[in-house]
Structure 1
Amino acid sequence: MVGNEAWLSQVRQWIERDYPNLASTNYHITSADTIDYNCVAWAAEDTQRWWWPDPMKESYWPVNVPRVETLLAFIKAFETLGYVICETPDLEENYQKIAIYMLNGQPTHVARQLLNGKWTSKLGQDEDIEHDTLEGLTGERYGQVAQVMKRKVGSRVGKGR
């Protein structure tokens, strides 16, 4: 990412303060902060809108998927994009994966696996990062990975329905 080194150093400090497990993993910032999209949208490869199942319908959420903050609703949302539940976050040839994090019974974050096996995440309204492991984001903010899903590369159903 192009940018002022002093600024990037400060941003890294903020990220590592909020996600302390990242400090011991290999990660890097891949884009500047933006409020245009969040982690769910980023995992869905949609950089044009914020995805969240808010009951007031202020954010985008796929049609016919319950607007509730539950693991099942997030699974259903990603099923509209061709994802199915799978057992492991390990890299599988010809598959793209997402990981849904939960804390206190509610979804908090979604990361997407890149074709090289690393993961990409949008940190709320802050920066996008690439990280080697899912464990880098576990902890007090996002909790733990609760579900992994996969889809065949190139089998995209649509940008949500």
Structure 2
Amino acid sequence: MYRRPELEIKWPNLSRTDYQVTSPKSEEYNCFAWAVEEDDRWWQPIPGEQFYWPDGVPQEETLEAYIQAYQTLGYEPDDNEILETGYQKIAIYVDSNGIPTHAARQLPNGKWTSKLGWLEDIEHELDGLTGDRYGVVGQILKRPIEFSSANTIDE
């Protein structure tokens, strides 16, 4: 298992949980893209060519806008992070003002995968990233797994 003490400084809860680094650093994509298995663009509701945001979704930094963005891909709000057979889940973290700060995707083993800004991807426990930097989990979303492979849209 590959761990990085530098990550534990930024996210102190990682040191108390089971996590591992799973990819090299990259500036090609962010956590919001990685949550939906994209590694070739940066999801952010800011106008400009360097960012992607789904058409028709308000370009604002609100939990509601992020939920709407993921709903364009078949995700719907859920009330728990427990692994469910046949579903893929996303957790959206929010700061104390309710502004989205991070997103993670649940893996088939029940752990979560995250892209840490311009840093690496990690496999982690959901609470490993809670704290001052990312806040708390504000919403869990889920979609049927068959939706993710059957309805992929290439852009």
Same fold at TM > 0.5: yes
- CA 1:74 to 1:159, structure 2 compared with 1: closer, same or farther past 3 Å? farther
Distance in 2 between the 1:113 and 1:17 partners? 24
> After the TM superposition, which residues 55-134 of structure 1 pair with which residues of structure 2 at under 5 Å, given as runs?
55-56=47-48, 58-103=50-95, 104-131=97-124, 133-134=125-126
2:20 alignment partner, SS class: strand
Runs of 4+ in 1 over 4 A off after TM superposition: none
TM, length-normalised to structure 2: 0.92
Which of 112, 119, 142 is the aligned partner of 1:150?
142
Pair 1:21 & 2:13 matched = yes
Task: Supply the RMSD in Å over aligned alpha carbons.
Answer: 1.7
Query: What stretches of structure 2 of length at least 5 have no aligned partner?
Result: none
Distance in 2 between the 1:16 and 1:76 partners? 32
- CA 1:23 to 1:77, structure 2 compared with 1: closer, same or farther past 3 Å? same
Distance in 2 between the 1:39 and 1:24 partners? 22
Structure 1 residues 42-87: Cα deviation after superposition (integer angstroms, max 9, x where no partner): 0011111011111445310111111100001100011011101111
TM, length-normalised to structure 1: 0.89
**Cα pair 1:62 1:160 within 8 Å, conserved:** no
Percent identity of paired positions between Structure 1 and Structure 2 = 53
> After the TM superposition, which residues 129-140 of structure 1 pair with which residues of structure 2 at under 5 Å, given as runs?
129-131=122-124, 133-140=125-132
Kindly state the Cα deviation for residue 160 of structure 1 after the two structures are TM-superposed. Answer: 8.4
**Cα pair 1:80 1:160 within 8 Å, conserved:** no
Distance in 2 between the 1:56 and 1:50 partners? 11
Kindly state the Cα deviation for residue 139 of structure 1 after the two structures are TM-superposed. Answer: 0.4
- CA 1:52 to 1:159, structure 2 compared with 1: closer, same or farther past 3 Å? farther
Aligned residues: 152
Query: What stretches of structure 1 of length at least 5 have no aligned partner?
Result: 2-7
- Alignment match, 1:5: none
